[in-house]
Chain A
Amino acid sequence: MSDIIINVQNVSKSFGGVQANTNVTMQVETGGITGLIGPNGSGKTTLFNSIVGYHPIDGGSIQFEGQEISKLPVQQIARRGLLRTFQQTRIYGAMNGIENMLISLPHRKMKIWDALKTYTREDYERADHLLEFVGLYEKRMLKSGDLSFGQQKLLEFAMALMNEPTCLLLDEPTAGINPTLINGLIDRLKRANTEFGITLFVIEHNMRVIMNMAETIYCLAHGELLAQGTPDEIQNDQRVIDAYLGAH
């Protein structure tokens, strides 16, 4: 059990009449990269939202590091080291890149009086380093609201790394990224996993990307778990192929 970091058991969630998730069960292994795929509207983002406490779930249980988190509010879950990025990228648009990074320093390690201090030189260096890591160092003094969508996506990823999470949920990290940059991004995601030791749980529509990265992949369709397995198994699963074809 100890090598399972997120344990989702029979989770259901509906919005009025729309059943977005039905009895979903899945596990994310500690230290690995797990993928989540499914046609548009299959309930992937909804599941992420449920895990990070964005809305209450109708039934089931969600455990993080062995503890029940399905009743906790968003901030408390985040402070346990379970972080998410948004599908509709969210950054602090009025601030520049550096400020965005600094404000993302982990608050869970912070005592309230630490808030009354200023940032240290190490904080700045870390911010620079991570901006360099995602390739935004040159743009760091620009108002981040003026960055392109793809750049904002990268900035949000860097901000998440700044927060030193144990586990990171990424909602379509390659959406809007220039295809020629995607290989570089895959490489960075993998390095975040191996070098920084962050467990990744990734929603992705780009099959090449997810097959390339993930060790285990779950596939949702119509809010229900359709299939799970290694990239090879998923690629050859007739139900998955049908679901994707049938959705178009």
Chain B
Amino acid sequence: MDQILGNIGLLFEFPVVNLKIVLDGIMVGALFALAAYGLALVWGVMNVKNLAQGDFVISGGYVSWYLVQNGFPALLGVPIAFIVMWGIGWVVYKLVISRVIERDLFTSLLATFGLAIMMAQILNLLFGSDTQSVDLGYDVLYFFDGFIDVPIAKLIGVLMASALAAGVIIFMKSSRMGQAIRATAQDARAARVMGIDTEKVYAFTFSLNSAICGAAGAIIVMVWVIQPFYGISYSIRAFVIVTAAGLGNLPGVIAAGLGIGALEQYGAHIFGIGYQQAIAVMLLLLVLLVRLIQQRRNRQVLK
């Protein structure tokens, strides 16, 4: 308890610590937002709630890590992870996802939960259970007499995440496929009547989601560490963000992602790093509770 109060006191004594926490939060939040955007995309377009979302992220991380182990330059890991995970996403779609689209939501939730277990275990068998990371070997920038340290690698990570997000947004807005995806999300039957091949749209959407996650994972492995079983916490964060922001609300997803990132960093600072997982989950419960109370006021339930 004293420690917690001490940590809170620190925030007031050295306000610049807040700046560091917020900065860190925005950096992690940007990556959470990518995974959350993918989740919202798949959820909105084909009504599938993907509990393996985080495992796609971690898989992307391992793709990049594996390449670096074999002498590839680290920055190439991001686009290659994007491509490799696109392929994996397509296979997963054909084998599993395509068969749960028309079913009730619990089916997709459970099927992807099983998928999550499989993916984590396969990664564990292939790469072992140690934490891994890729060292870019760049410097660390210091500000405020060394109070704030910003590794250049993190800056590059945030830049790449933003570039990826921008690319996806432009693609969704202006390409034919992007328009078809949005039409399908609004009303799949109408889209089919209009001659859109929704099956193709679904496969594309899921592959795209997988690729986005993969690229996010490849960025994560450059700035933090990954481990085969870290997937679930990314999945949960993605759910927190989407639940807070709602579907089809990209600015909301980004804002919620950054907010959750910052809240988590504050939590970790105040309660200690051991609580990081707990904080992510507590945020989920908190968001659900708030949404529930909102709905109850209208005598509705959260469904």
Q: Mark B290-301, 1 if CB is under 8 A from A, else 0.
A: 000000011110
Chain A residues lying within 8 Å of B297, measured Cβ to Cβ, are: 56
B297, B298, B299, B300 — most chain A CB neighbours (10 Å): B299
Shortest Cβ distance from A56 into B: residue: B299
Chain B residues lying within 8 Å of A86, measured Cβ to Cβ, are: none
B13 to chain A, nearest CB (A): 47
Number of interface residues of A (CB under 8 A): 6
A55 to B300, CA, bound (A): 8
A57 to chain B, nearest CB (A): 11
Chain A residues lying within 8 Å of B299, measured Cβ to Cβ, are: 53-56, 73-74
Shortest Cβ distance from A53 into B: residue: B299
A93 to chain B, nearest CB (A): 14
Chain B residues lying within 8 Å of A56, measured Cβ to Cβ, are: 297-299
A38 to B132, CA, bound (A): 69
Q: Mark A15-55, 1 if CB is under 8 A from B, else 0.
A: 00000000000000000000000000000000000000111
A73 to B299, CA, bound (A): 8
Chain B residues lying within 8 Å of A74, measured Cβ to Cβ, are: 299
Which parts of B272-297 form the interface with A (CB within 8 Å)?
297
Q: Mark A190-206, 1 if CB is under 8 A from B, else 0.
A: 00000000000000000
A73 to B300, CA, bound (A): 11
Which parts of A142-199 form the interface with B (CB within 8 Å)?
none
A199 to B298, CA, bound (A): 29
Which parts of A54-70 form the interface with B (CB within 8 Å)?
54-56
Shortest Cβ distance from A49 into B: residue: B299
Chain A residues lying within 8 Å of B300, measured Cβ to Cβ, are: 55
Chain A residues lying within 8 Å of B298, measured Cβ to Cβ, are: 55-56
4 extra interchain contacts, Cβ-Cβ under 8 A, other than A55-B298, A56-B299? Answer: A55-B299, A55-B300, A56-B297, A73-B299
Residues of A within 8 A of B (CB): 53-56, 73-74
A-B contact pairs, 9 of them (CB 8 A): A53-B299, A54-B299, A55-B298, A55-B299, A55-B300, A56-B297, A56-B298, A56-B299, A73-B299
- In the A-B complex, the 7 residue pairs with the closest CB atoms: A55-B299, A56-B299, A55-B298, A56-B298, A73-B299, A54-B299, A53-B299
